[in-house]
Amino acid sequence: MIRRIALLIKCTVIFSSLILATTGAGAEDLPGSDVFVIGQHAYLAGGSRGLYVVDIRPANPKQVAVVQTPGEANGVFAAGSFAYVAAGSAGLQIIGIRNPASPSIIGSVDTPGNARNVVVFGNYACVADARAGLQIINIRNAERPRIMASIDTPGEAYHVHVAANHAYVADGKGGLQIINIRRPAEPRIVASVRAPREARAVHVISDHAYVADYSNGIHAIDISNPDRPRVVGSVDTPGEAQGIYPLYNLLVVADGTRGLQLLNIRDPKSLRIVAAYATPGESRNVYGLASKAFVAGLGFGLGVFEVIDRSSLNTPGHFLY
């Protein structure tokens, strides 16, 4: 018990005292919806303002470019020389970022729904397309992407994560939908797990999928057999869980009006909050890299936080409790 209390105190101090910086958009607040980091830059989906490119090397992150996208930039995934933006009513926008200071849209494809999130695997992009379910898009030719397949889901697809041959979709009131995409042109739903509130985000770590269930916190789901998933652990969070990302044996949760929550997920059956931080506005999504959490949110755009004391790290991939 003493060790646990010490950990809570230590994490809280680290979390609150090592906020690095935030970046906004001039006189008005930047509506950060999602963030993805690759190399020395963070790519921030800024809603109606498009995609922001931020240099994260300095102590104070510096905006180096912005691309006005049609539709609202809701989600972003970056790989190689491209940033893929889920742009609401404008579908998928593909932006060349070979030179991050001079990005430009090079290709796009409309989707039947409201594109909210995107993830890339190989020559394909999976787009969570709200009421239109999941769209699988061939991006082999970035200038001419095309929809390969669509599969309707019972709820509203908010977020998607791809692991192995499956796409895991946070489907709002439809809970978690597990879709076999071994044949991208022939996706099929193989299982689902009910979410008591509204599944907003999902991230797969090894044999478990973690689902952000908005006002009902986080659920850990055993997916060792994707055809027979089962909930093995849950923990409520004080806010509205909307985005999640793992760091070592921790899960950083973008918890809406209650900022960030840091969860111990070493034992998925016994999830627990070990630290928290109140962000300047509503946190929407989070990306983890090394010991830092990059947070997209309303009212502050992008926040960068040091959430792990690197002196407490042992071998890579393990956090010492």
Contact 305, 19 (CB under 8 A): yes
- Residue 239 has a pLDDT of 98
Query: 307 and 198 share a domain?
Result: no
Answer positive or negative: Cα dihedral of 118, 157, 278, 221. Answer: negative
Query: 184 and 272 share a domain?
Result: no
Q: Which among 184, 315, 321, 209 is positioned nearest to 262, based on CA atoms? A: 321
Contact 10, 50 (CB under 8 A): no
- Residue 129 has a pLDDT of 98
Most confidently modeled of 103-107, 195-199, 315-319?
103-107
Of 241, 272, 287, the last residue of a domain is: 241
Query: 71 and 50 share a domain?
Result: yes
Query: 233 and 104 share a domain?
Result: yes
Q: Residue 54 forms beta bridges with which residues?
A: 42, 63
Instruction: With cut-offs at 50, 70 and 90, classify the pLDDT of residue 57.
Output: confident
Q: Per the structure, how many domains does the chain have?
A: 2
Of 183, 216, 241, the last residue of a domain is: 241
CATH number at residue 80: 2.120.10.30
Of 218, 241, 264, the last residue of a domain is: 241
Instruction: With cut-offs at 50, 70 and 90, classify the pLDDT of residue 310.
Output: low
The tens digit of pLDDT for each residue in 249-298 reads: 899 999 999 999 999 999 999 999 999 888 888 999 999 998 889 999 98
In the sheet with 176-180, reading across from the earlier edge strand, the strands are 159-163, 166-170, 176-180, 188-193
- Residue 13 has a pLDDT of 30
Query: 102 and 223 share a domain?
Result: yes
Query: 80 and 213 share a domain?
Result: yes
- Residue 308 has a pLDDT of 76
Residue 224's domain comprises 19-241
Q: What is the pTM of this model?
A: 0.90
Cα(14)–Cα(3) distance, integer angstroms: 16
Q: Give 313: exposed, middle or buried? Use CB within 10 Å, 0-12, 13-18, 19+.
A: middle
Query: 6 and 135 share a domain?
Result: no
- What CA dihedral angle connects 171, 279, 299 and 295, to 10 degrees? -50
Query: 5 and 131 share a domain?
Result: no
User: What is the identity of the amino acid at 55?
Assistant: D
Query: 3 and 96 share a domain?
Result: no
- Residue 317 has a pLDDT of 31
Cα(283)–Cα(260) distance, integer angstroms: 7
Query: 153 and 299 share a domain?
Result: no
Three-state SS for 82? strand
**What does the block give as tokens for 176?**
């978690």
Contact 170, 211 (CB under 8 A): yes
Q: What is the mean pLDDT of residues 123-135?
A: 98
Query: 28 and 126 share a domain?
Result: yes
Query: 173 and 231 share a domain?
Result: yes
pLDDT at 12 over 50: no
